[in-house]
């Protein structure tokens, strides 16, 4: 039964990948300019190179064959050159992508750590002052445009109080060699003498962007946990459990939370694309050198090979995360498997 | 359960904030300086660029030149060359090299010898000899040297022995030494180039630089930062700074914010609008320097209707420069009459000033056959430059001015690198851009901007090639007599005024904001900024 389900999912994901690569492939033709330039990323093609390049990129063959050649190149890791730097697009993506993942995952963790307990609290004490307060603040935070919120925090903590930096991942004077591309692991893996200072500095740089980016998913998490918990608490099996003599905490934990969190897991997948979009905005505001800022720069520079590659990576990430949460949801919820 | 979680979270948060209040920066970081620059470098070889941003970031930090320019007087000083002399016919120069000058020792190169004449011949032959193995590397593009027409001027660069170099010229040229002292004439390492050639990676010469300058290259993260460390064996003595980082922050507001939060020690190009605000802060100091630069509006003179001199003059009359000076430069600039700033010795003081006269402009347009005006594009550069701090705003002001004479202008802008590329391919109608001088010689304003060779190399924004004008500026170089040269330059200025290939708008002051802890970083009126003398007090 489970195996069948996984096969179906894998099949579906395969189709989505095909659709995505078709879209990315067609962009070479849809973007203005010369197709060969868009495909290869070479801005300065000499006439004597032209023929060899056309053959290499299979541009003289049918569209289907070109597409197959394109997919082969993607799988081989040959994604063309960036117009602006004339460096391979894939290596640029590999350089910036970890920064985005790092920021997004810290924000996601933050939203779990804050969102679920607060949501539970708001559900259990729905009528108390604090319950109302949480719901109220959540509504406000949910409605705040993220760029405005980020600027407010910068104005307060950086410009007025002067306690937190405004931009970047770490003070640029710290010379941290890149091994994984993730800042904190890189600091711990490096052999510099000032690890604790560097860690502290990196955390100070991380704090504002992570809080800003976590704001939206936290509010979603609170609202979802609260609603779902309230719905679960209405169920008759909760009343039965209480009637059997289980303590309030036991009921909440064993019968309430497990059932209430199921829809929340699904929600993560659904919110992930929003999270990535917000991460791009956050990156631009805090000069966080991630894929969002890189992609926006590429769009501004009309850097077509980079736009193609960036879109492919970002959409693949969103789909994979969606799939994973879906599978997780199914694993935890026998009802969903049958449907 | 909830209480437990909350109690876990509270101390965690307070620890973060407390630690944030007292950043404990280790000693090795303390003598490092962060310079927040306005853009990314295009290359790490000054021969290959003209952009001031790139020159600021690389030239004075990584390299030395044969000669230097005294920033106070504009006189030439010995640098890598200790002495030089000129033959009687003015066509041969000899330079004697400084002994024991060390190249950078980095992770990617260990020098086997000190500077000698081969390094100098390599540096210049790469530019001059079209069959040189390095000439074609990176596209044979040496914009500054092409714009001053070095190819036809310098016949040969010869090493007579390990410390003497001979330059043979085809004609006397009084700006030759000044050109050798510009930031573009940086001396590269021939040994390093040879090594790269053997490795089959010659293009790295322009990407992973080796020079003799006060700092050596550690790493460059594109659009993020450039990291330099001090050169321990620098021939002028090692610098006080142990580390120098160029933090690349194109956004003006972010650069200002980083100055106020002390993330930047020195900030390039603070916005004129904010100068007053930051001068009031006790921890920030604003420096200014009257600089050799000009902001102008160039017409693509090969495109109709701008090939008609009446049209160009009409457009010049239509522009209200006073309003532009107020709104764009906030009064921190002098109104320009001609390309040369008033501080230059060749400036034409009696040249009549271009008046703002829309009525006259309409008459001229009618004479030119455009009584109803026309449509045109004004290209406005996307970045803040000394000579034009806000080209987009300027373009909008001009748009309104032009509408009064029936010319419907649209404002066009691209990302800076594409913008420059499209300009050098002459895709524009007209462009708001400018020039900052690299040396004190007036030739530096005329030849790179308006000569025929500049039109070919793509740096002549007016795409203007006029043999009469070329003759004038060439004759000015044949003599070393200042009076004679001056009269040629006066005529040249008059000729530009008649032909109007471009409208000079303003000569701006250059500003820099820095933390009061930093001393020894001054703006150089003749080119790139130098950090060699910078110090940081704790």
Segment A149-162, tens digit of pLDDT: 999 999 999 988 88
Residue of A nearest to B26 (CA): A194
* B45 CB-side CA count, 13 A: 26
CB contact under 8 A, B23 and A287: no
Task: Match 């980095």 to its residue by tokens.
Answer: B106
CB contact under 8 A, A166 and B28: no
Query: Sign of dihedral through CA atoms A148, A150, A153, A159?
Result: negative
* B464 CB-side CA count, 13 A: 29
Segment B456-468, tens digit of pLDDT: 888 899 999 999 9
- How does DSSP assign A107-127, residue by residue? HHHHHHHHHHHHHHHHHHTTT
Residue of B nearest to A118 (CA): B2
- Judged by a CB distance cut-off of 8 A, whether residue A85 touches chain B is yes
User: Distance (Å, rounded) from C-alpha A105 to C-alpha A184?
Assistant: 13
Segment B285-342, tens digit of pLDDT: 998 887 788 999 999 999 989 999 999 999 999 999 999 999 998 888 889 999 998 8
Task: Match 């419907």 to its residue by tokens.
Answer: B408
pLDDT for position B25: 58
Q: Which residues of B touch A172 (CB under 8 A)?
A: 34, 225, 227, 245, 247
CB contact under 8 A, A287 and B254: yes
- Judged by a CB distance cut-off of 8 A, whether residue A84 touches chain B is yes
CB contact under 8 A, B24 and A207: no
Q: Which residues of B touch A203 (CB under 8 A)?
A: 16, 19
Segment B426-475, tens digit of pLDDT: 999 999 999 888 777 888 899 889 999 888 888 899 999 999 999 999 99
The pLDDT > 70 percentage for chain A reads: 99
Q: Where are the alpha helices (DSSP H) in B319-442?
A: 321-329, 358-367, 391-403, 416-424
Task: Flag the least confident range among A8-17, B8-17, B160-169, B472-481.
Answer: B8-17
- Judged by a CB distance cut-off of 8 A, whether residue A197 touches chain B is yes
Q: Which residues of A touch B415 (CB under 8 A)?
A: 84, 297, 300-302
Q: Which residues of B touch A121 (CB under 8 A)?
A: 2
Pairing of strands B164-169, B518-519: unpaired
3-state secondary structure of B100: coil
Task: Match 């390990």 to its residue by tokens.
Answer: B162
CB contact under 8 A, B247 and A297: no
Residue of B nearest to A211 (CA): B13
Residue B377 is encoded by which pair of tokens? 């594009």
A–B interface: beta-carbon pairs under 8 A: 105
- Judged by a CB distance cut-off of 8 A, whether residue A289 touches chain B is yes
pLDDT for position B69: 87
Give me chain A's average pLDDT, please: 87
Q: Which residues of A touch B38 (CB under 8 A)?
A: none
Sort A160 into a burial class: Cβ within 10 Å, 0-12 / 13-18 / 19+. Answer: exposed
Segment B258-269, tens digit of pLDDT: 998 989 999 988
Question: Is the pLDDT at B1 greater than 80, yes or no?
Answer: no
Segment A106-138, tens digit of pLDDT: 998 999 899 888 988 888 888 888 888 988 999
To the nearest whole Å, the CA of B2 is away from the closest chain A CA by 6
Pairing of strands B243-248, B32-37: parallel
3-state secondary structure of A101: helix
Residue A34 is encoded by which pair of tokens? 């010369």
pLDDT for position A1: 65
- Backbone φ and ψ of B297, nearest 5°: -120, 110
- Judged by a CB distance cut-off of 8 A, whether residue A333 touches chain B is no
- Cα separations in angstroms, B533 against A252, B71, B243: 68, 14, 13
Residue of A nearest to B246 (CA): A172
User: Distance (Å, rounded) from C-alpha A264 to C-alpha A270?
Assistant: 10
Give me chain B's average pLDDT, please: 88
CB B419 within 8 A of CB B381: yes
CA B482 from centre of chain:
26
CB contact under 8 A, B247 and A300: no
- Judged by a CB distance cut-off of 8 A, whether residue A52 touches chain B is no
CB B429 within 8 A of CB B306: yes
Segment A235-263, tens digit of pLDDT: 888 888 888 888 888 888 888 887 888 88
Residue B11 is encoded by which pair of tokens? 């101390």
- ∠ CA(A256), CA(A261), CA(A264), 5° rounding? 150
CB contact under 8 A, A197 and B26: yes
Using CB atoms, pick whichever of A84, A173, A197 lies closest to residue B34: A173
CB contact under 8 A, B245 and A164: no
Band of residue A336 on the pLDDT scale cut at 50, 70, 90:
low
CB contact under 8 A, B17 and A197: no
CB B93 within 8 A of CB B167: yes
**Minimal CA–CA distance to B65: which of B173, B183, B170?**
B183
Q: Which residues of B touch A207 (CB under 8 A)?
A: 16, 20
To the nearest whole Å, the CA of A317 is away from the closest chain B CA by 24
Q: Which residues of B touch A201 (CB under 8 A)?
A: 23, 25
Q: Which residues of B touch A193 (CB under 8 A)?
A: 26, 28
Q: Which residues of A touch B139 (CB under 8 A)?
A: 44
CB contact under 8 A, A200 and B257: no
Segment B341-365, tens digit of pLDDT: 888 888 998 888 888 999 999 999 9
Question: Is the pLDDT at B3 greater than 50, yes or no?
Answer: no
Band of residue B21 on the pLDDT scale cut at 50, 70, 90:
very low
Residues of B with CB under 8 A from a CB of A: 1-2, 5-6, 9, 16-17, 19-21, 23-26, 28-29, 32, 34, 139, 218, 221-225, 227, 243, 245, 247, 249, 251, 254, 257-258, 260-263, 414-415, 417-418
Q: Which residues of B touch A92 (CB under 8 A)?
A: 222
CB contact under 8 A, A164 and B263: no
Q: Where are the alpha helices (DSSP H) in B129-189?
A: 143-147, 150-153, 176-180
Residue of B nearest to A200 (CA): B19
B17 or A166, higher pLDDT: A166
pLDDT for position B116: 93
pLDDT for position B24: 53
pLDDT for position B10: 39
CB contact under 8 A, B1 and A249: yes
CB contact under 8 A, B258 and A167: yes
pLDDT for position B251: 85
3-state secondary structure of A160: helix
- Judged by a CB distance cut-off of 8 A, whether residue A156 touches chain B is no
CB A225 within 8 A of CB A123: yes
Residue A202 is encoded by which pair of tokens? 């990196």
CB B379 within 8 A of CB B413: yes
**Probe site for chain A from B43, B415, B422, B424 (most A CB atoms < 10 A):** B415
């Amino acid at each position: 039964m489970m195996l069948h389900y996984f096969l179906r999912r894998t099949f579906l994901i395969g189709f989505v990948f095909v659709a995505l690569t078709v879209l990315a492939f067609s962009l070479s033709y849809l973007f203005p300019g010369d197709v060969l330039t868009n495909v290869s990323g070479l801005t300065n093609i000499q006439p004597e190179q032209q023929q060899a390049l056309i053959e290499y990129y299979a541009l003289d063959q049918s569209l289907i064959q070109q597409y197959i050649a394109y997919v082969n190149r993607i799988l081989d890791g040959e994604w063309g050159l960036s117009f602006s730097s004339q460096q391979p697009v894939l290596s640029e993506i590999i350089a910036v992508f970890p920064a985005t993942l790092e920021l997004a995952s810290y924000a996601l963790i933050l939203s779990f750590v804050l969102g679920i307990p607060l949501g539970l609290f708001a559900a259990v004490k729905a009528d108390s002052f604090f319950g109302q307060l949480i719901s109220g603040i959540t509504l406000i935070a949910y409605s705040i445009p993220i760029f405005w919120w980020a600027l407010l925090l910068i104005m307060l903590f950086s410009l007025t109080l002067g306690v937190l930096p405004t931009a970047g991942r770490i003070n640029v004077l710290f010379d941290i060699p890149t091994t994984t591309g993730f800042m904190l692991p890189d600091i711990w893996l490096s052999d510099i003498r000032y690890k604790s200072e560097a860690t502290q500095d990196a955390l100070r740089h991380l704090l504002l962007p992570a809080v800003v980016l976590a704001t939206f998913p936290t509010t979603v998490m609170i609202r979802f946990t609260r609603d779902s918990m309230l719905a679960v608490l209405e169920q008759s099996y909760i009343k039965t459990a209480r009637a059997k003599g289980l303590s309030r905490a036991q009921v909440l934990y064993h019968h309430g939370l497990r059932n209430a969190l199921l829809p929340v897991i699904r929600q993560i997948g659904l919110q992930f694309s929003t999270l990535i979009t917000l991460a791009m905005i956050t990156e631009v505001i805090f000069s966080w050198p991630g894929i969002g800022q890189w992609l926006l720069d590429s769009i501004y520079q009309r850097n077509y090979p980079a736009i193609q590659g960036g879109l492919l990576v970002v959409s693949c990430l969103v789909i994979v995360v969606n799939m994973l949460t879906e599978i997780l949801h199914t694993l935890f919820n026998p009802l969903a498997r049958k449907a | 359960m909830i209480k437990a979680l909350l109690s876990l979270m509270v101390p965690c948060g307070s620890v973060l904030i407390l630690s944030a209040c007292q950043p404990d920066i280790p000693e090795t970081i303390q003598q490092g300086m962060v310079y927040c620059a306005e853009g990314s470098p295009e290359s790490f070889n000054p021969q290959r660029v003209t952009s001031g941003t790139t020159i600021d970031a690389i030239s004075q930090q990584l390299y030395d030149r044969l000669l230097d320019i005294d920033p106070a007087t504009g006189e030439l000083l010995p640098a890598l060359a200790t002495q030089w002399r000129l033959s009687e016919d003015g066509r041969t120069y000899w330079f004697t090299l400084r002994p024991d000058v060390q190249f950078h020792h980095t992770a990617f190169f260990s020098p086997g010898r000190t500077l000698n004449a081969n390094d100098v011949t390599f540096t210049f032959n790469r530019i001059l000899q079209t069959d040189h193995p390095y000439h074609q590397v990176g596209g044979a593009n040496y914009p500054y040297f092409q714009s001053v027409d070095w190819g036809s001027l310098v016949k040969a660069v010869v090493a007579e022995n390990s410390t003497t170099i001979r330059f043979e010229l085809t004609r006397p040229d009084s700006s030759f030494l000044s050109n050798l002292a510009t930031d573009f004439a940086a001396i590269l390492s021939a040994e390093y180039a040879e090594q790269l050639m053997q490795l089959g990676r010659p293009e790295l010469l322009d990407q992973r630089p080796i020079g003799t300058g006060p700092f050596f290259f550690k790493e460059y993260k594109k659009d993020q930062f450039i990291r330099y460390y001090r050169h321990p064996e620098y021939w002028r003595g090692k610098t006080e700074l142990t580390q120098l980082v160029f933090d690349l922050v194109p956004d003006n507001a972010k650069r200002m914010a980083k100055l106020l939060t002390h993330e930047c020690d020195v900030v390039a190009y603070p916005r004129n609008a904010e100068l007053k605000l930051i001068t009031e802060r006790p921890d920030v100091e604003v420096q200014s320097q009257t600089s050799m630069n000009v902001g102008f509006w160039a017409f693509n003179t090969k495109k109709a209707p701008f090939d008609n001199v009446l049209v160009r003059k009409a457009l010049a009359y239509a522009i209200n420069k006073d309003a532009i000076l107020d709104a764009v430069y906030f009064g921190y600039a002098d109104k320009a009459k001609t390309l040369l700033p008033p501080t230059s010795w060749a400036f034409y003081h009696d040249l009549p000033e271009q008046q703002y006269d829309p009525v006259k402009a309409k008459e001229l347009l009618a004479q030119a056959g455009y009584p109803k005006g026309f449509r045109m594009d004004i290209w406005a550069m996307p970045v803040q430059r000394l000579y034009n701090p806000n080209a987009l705003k300027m373009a909008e002001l001009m748009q309104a001015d032009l509408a009064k004479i029936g010319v419907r202008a649209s404002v066009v802008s691209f990302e800076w690198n594409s913008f420059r590329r499209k300009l050098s391919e002459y895709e524009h109608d007209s462009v708001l851009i400018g020039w900052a001088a690299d040396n004190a010689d007036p030739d530096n304003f005329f030849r790179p901007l308006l000569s025929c060779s500049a039109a070919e190399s793509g740096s002549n924004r007016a795409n203007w090639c006029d043999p009469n004008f070329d003759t004038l500026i060439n004759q000015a170089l044949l003599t070393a007599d200042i009076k004679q040269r001056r009269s040629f330059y006066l005529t040249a200025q008059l000729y530009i005024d008649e032909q109007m290939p471009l409208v000079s708008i303003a000569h701006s002051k250059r500003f820099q904001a820095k933390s009061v802890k930093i001393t020894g970083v001054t703006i150089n009126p003749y080119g790139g900024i130098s950090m060699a003398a910078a110090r940081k007090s704790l």
